[in-house]
Amino acid sequence: MSARTAPAPPPAPVLSRRRRIVFTGVMLLIPVLFFAVLEGGLRLADYGDDYPLFEPLDENPQYLVRNADIARRYFAQQASVPAPLHDVFAAQKGDDEYRVFVQGGSTAAGFPFYGGGAFSRMLERRLQDTFPDRTIEVINTAMDAVSSYTLLDLADEIVAQEPDAVLIYAGHNEYYGALGVGSAESLGRFRGLVNVYLRLRHVRTVQLLRNVLAGLGGGAEAPTPDGGGEADGGTMMAQMAGEQTVPYGSPEYELGLRQFRSNLSDLLATYERAGVPVFIATVASNERDQRPFVSAFAAGTDEAAWREAYDRGVGAGRRGDLAEARAAFAEAVRLDSLAADGFYALARVEEALGDTAAAREAFVAARDRDALRFRAPRAINAVIRDVAAAHGATVVAAEARLRQEAPGGTIGKEHMLEHLHPTLDGYFLIADAFYDALREAGAIGDWSRAVPDDLARRDLPLTPADSLVGLLRVRRMTSYWPFVPEGQPVRRGDTLTVRTPFDRIVQALYTNEAPWLDATGELATVYEQQGDLEAALQARQAVVSAYPMFGQPYLGLGGVYFRAGRLDEAADAFRKAAEREPRSPDPLSMLGAVEVRRGDVPEAIGYYEEARALAPGNPQVLYNLGVAYAFAQRYAEARGAVEALLHVQPDHAQARALLASLPPIGATGPARR
């Protein structure tokens, strides 16, 4: 009997072509719908932010200010993010305005002084003095610890604000800045992928994914505690590097240069297409007085032989035998052309022997070979020159300007506070280099009123409190790795014993307990109370430099000039306050006070009457007007002004005394005293 054959399974149903298309479409739509629903839910829950570069000023939406949270676009794994400068500018550009934007990292931002210590503020003040009939706006978009990725990412938003010029000082952060090759905030080596991520950064799903990954890595987003890019337990400088070395000539070193070249090329091309002139500076750092952080040997180096030559040079130097020391260190350099310490030691000896050219070359070589790559190598400046030439940008020789002023042509502590942030004099020289470049380009207009260097240098918009806060920030930063060995107990030098009102203001500024505007206004008041009107003027002028578009800073400045008896300057300040706040009675009232002091009572009455028209019930205006009427023997009007005041404020003792001094109604003659 033969085995029975199992029946064949029924054939699988064959989908029609139309059904296959529908099925495929549904399968493709499922993930799209999932992410669409997720994105919509995140937005409904108000998760994340678009982080626009500029946003309306809370106090006056007719002005824009840089978004305080803009750095969150680039920092997801840090416990602190850099705080931006508070540069305010008009939302609608006026016909007489010349608008400049500044891009870069911490040096462009003005660390450690910020504000009036930034070269942008120094430049703005000098340009405004050069072109008093134009409104000059220099808006600083720089922030600490960002690389060229950030500059490129912000370019379109800067173009949208109609810049007349863009100034760039950048290059030091290409390795450890946000998204840099050796950064703790790196997204990998593929530049295209990084730029795609930045374009998608406003998508809430992308923000969620980034924050989840940052959380897994132990990061958290929080504001910086002191505006200096520093976090508790260390500094942003230390956190961003993550102790990663980038040896000279290594694949990572070359990748950083390629990344900088490509991003800078795209950045300048963006401005070139928009017709915006670009002025890009060469960057400088401390060559003489910052020894290499990390000296790394090349592969295959006979380290024992190198150390023997190096130690021999050290010993010869201690004995005062500089010729032998030079020979020994030169041998160490020959044995290993990558070890930074050999070049640095040779530079010191060449300098001691008086060969400044050889010393300068060795100092620069040591800087370039520092494997902890916080300072840009000279190759970065070569890239800047090449890319600028390709896109018609102007190269600003800032490094050469500093080198010109430096002893022996080697940049050191005279112009650098630590490894790369300039002193106030260093910042002025950078501002001076940009000023000269703008003048040579014929930008803005007629330069017949150009401000000489020496006058501009004496007129920096900075207070002693700002300077001391900057010093405290530097002391804090240099208390940590890499300025001290890893594991060494931290001895912070940024403590301040509060003994005086000045100390209290400095402490409030340093710890971010008080906004700069409030603290500087209080500082001016303290100086006025102490009778130090010159110091008070410096503080008031710093506020005017920071907020030249508002009337209140000019009102405060005019008040100090008035107390100092400088009536012409007081009147000029009060007129500027009145122009900026035409509905405020205060500037007009103070202009009246100036005319009273000058003895021109009729002119004073005119100002007081204008002020009264704006504020009919203002007690101070009514009192001032009553006094002026009395001086002019217009007693009926004086009585009317005083009675109006007493109707508003019945207990005004000075008004009652003035009323009692006036002649009875119908009487003639001067008021009783």
pLDDT by residue (tens digit) across 530-578? 999 999 999 999 999 999 999 999 999 999 999 999 999 999 999 999 9
Same domain, 386 and 517: no
- Single residue among 424, 439, 458 that ends a domain in this structure: 458
Q: Which residues contact 555 (CB under 8 A, 6 or more apart)?
A: 573, 574, 577, 586, 587, 590
Same domain, 453 and 465: no
| 340 DSSP β-pair partners | none
Same domain, 253 and 384: yes
pLDDT above 60 for 667? no
Q: How high is the pLDDT of residue 497?
A: 87
Look at residue 298 and tell me if it is in a domain. no
Q: How high is the pLDDT of residue 664?
A: 82
CA pair distance 575, 558, nearest whole angstrom:
9
Percent of the chain with pLDDT over 90: 74
Residue 587: CATH number of its domain: 1.25.40.10
Q: Encode 501-555 in three state secondary structure.
A: HHHHHHHHHHCCCCCHHHHHHHHHHHHHHHCCHHHHHHHHHHHHHHCCCCHHHHH
pLDDT above 90 for 185? no
Look at residue 158 and tell me if it is in a domain. yes
Pairing of strands 165-169, 97-104: parallel
pLDDT tier, 12 (very low <50, low <70, confident <90, very high otherwise): low
Residue 316: CATH number of its domain: 1.25.40
Q: How high is the pLDDT of residue 71?
A: 87
**Structural domain span for residue 318:** 303-356
Name the phi and psi angles at 55, rounded to 5: -145, 160
CA pair distance 601, 623, nearest whole angstrom:
14
pLDDT tier, 665 (very low <50, low <70, confident <90, very high otherwise): confident
CA pair distance 126, 110, nearest whole angstrom:
17
Look at residue 392 and tell me if it is in a domain. yes
The mean pLDDT value for 72-96 works out to: 79
Q: How high is the pLDDT of residue 124?
A: 97
Same domain, 577 and 640: yes
pLDDT above 50 for 316? yes
Look at residue 213 and tell me if it is in a domain. no
- Name the DSSP letter for residue 604: H
pLDDT above 50 for 471? yes
Same domain, 203 and 334: no
Look at residue 596 and tell me if it is in a domain. yes
Same domain, 279 and 176: yes
Burial of 327 (0-12, 13-18, 19+ CB in 10 A): middle
Look at residue 498 and tell me if it is in a domain. yes
pLDDT tier, 217 (very low <50, low <70, confident <90, very high otherwise): low
Q: Which of 52-56, 378-382, 482-486 has the lowest mean pLDDT?
A: 482-486
Same domain, 313 and 393: no
- Single residue among 536, 567, 590 that ends a domain in this structure: 536
- Single residue among 429, 458, 487 that ends a domain in this structure: 458
* 125-137 residue pLDDT tens: 999 999 999 999 9
Q: How high is the pLDDT of residue 407?
A: 97
Q: How high is the pLDDT of residue 623?
A: 94
pLDDT tier, 376 (very low <50, low <70, confident <90, very high otherwise): very high
Q: Which residue has the higher pLDDT, 330 or 486?
A: 330
pLDDT above 60 for 603? yes
Q: How high is the pLDDT of residue 363?
A: 99
Q: How high is the pLDDT of residue 670?
A: 58
Same domain, 271 and 172: yes
In 18-54, which positions are buried (b, 16+ CB within 10 angstroms) versus exposed (e)?
A: eeeeeeeeeeeeeeeeeeeeebeebeeeeebeebebb
Same domain, 581 and 514: no
Q: Which residue has the higher pLDDT, 57 or 236?
A: 57
Residue 425: CATH number of its domain: 3.40.50.1110
pLDDT tier, 225 (very low <50, low <70, confident <90, very high otherwise): very low
Q: How high is the pLDDT of residue 598?
A: 96
Q: Which of 232-241, 272-281, 414-423 has the lowest mean pLDDT?
A: 232-241
* 13-55 residue pLDDT tens: 665 666 666 656 666 666 656 556 654 665 566 566 778 999 9
Q: Which residue has the higher pLDDT, 391 or 3?
A: 391
Q: How high is the pLDDT of residue 321?
A: 97
Same domain, 307 and 427: no
Look at residue 221 and tell me if it is in a domain. no
- Look-up of token digits 């002019």: 632
Look at residue 40 and tell me if it is in a domain. no
Q: Give me the chain's average pLDDT, please.
A: 88
Q: How many domains does the chain have?
A: 4
pLDDT tier, 377 (very low <50, low <70, confident <90, very high otherwise): very high
Same domain, 514 and 429: no
CA pair distance 593, 487, nearest whole angstrom:
64
The mean pLDDT value for 480-507 works out to: 87
End-to-end CA distance of the chain, in Å? 146
595: three-class secondary structure by DSSP? helix
* 257-299 residue pLDDT tens: 999 999 999 999 999 999 999 999 999 999 999 999 999 999 9
Dmax (CA) for the chain in angstroms is 151
Residue 511 carries which side chain, given as an amino acid letter?
Answer: T
Same domain, 381 and 449: yes
